[in-house]
Amino acid sequence: MPDAIAEKQPEIEVERTAVKPVVKKEQNFHSEWAVVSLLLSLFGFIVPFIFSTLGIIFAIGGLMQTNRENMKGKWMAILAILFGITSIVVYTILVIAGINFAQEMLAQFGDPSMFLGLE
């Protein structure tokens, strides 16, 4: 009897297509690393070598996060790297110029106590 029931039902062919789910990553948020790196690089113009170096390190982390998680803020990380490098270069030039100036003053006046007016 089961054979009789199986013969009465028509076979329906169903085409199955593989549908890949579309995964959209959230693009509404900026990378926290990029925001912090920009702030650190801006503070790097006040205290150059510490904050600028930290800003560059955080900016690299921000670039990695924006690429990995498809977040906004890539421009902040790139700008933080540029600000960090710029402040380090500017302050390095200022330190070298200050050392050169001090050497010229010592060569001109001789003893530092004479230059400082201690005698």
Mean pLDDT of all residues in the chain? 83
Query: Do the domain assignments include residue 105?
Result: yes
The yes-or-no verdict on residue 76 having pLDDT over 60 is yes
Query: Do the domain assignments include residue 11?
Result: no
Average pLDDT over residues 40-54: 93
Query: Do the domain assignments include residue 17?
Result: no
In terms of residue numbers, what domain contains 100?
Answer: 26-116
Q: What is the DSSP letter of 72?
A: B
Query: Do the domain assignments include residue 6?
Result: no
Residues 6+ apart with CB under 8 A from 89: none
Query: Do the domain assignments include residue 20?
Result: no
Query: Do the domain assignments include residue 2?
Result: no
Query: Do the domain assignments include residue 13?
Result: no
Number of domains in the chain: 1
User: Three-state SS for 9?
Assistant: coil
Query: Do the domain assignments include residue 5?
Result: no
Specify whether the backbone of 117 is left (phi greater than 0), alpha (psi in -120 to 50) or beta.
Answer: left
Share of the chain above pLDDT 90, in %: 50
User: Considering the entire predicted model, what is its pTM?
Assistant: 0.67
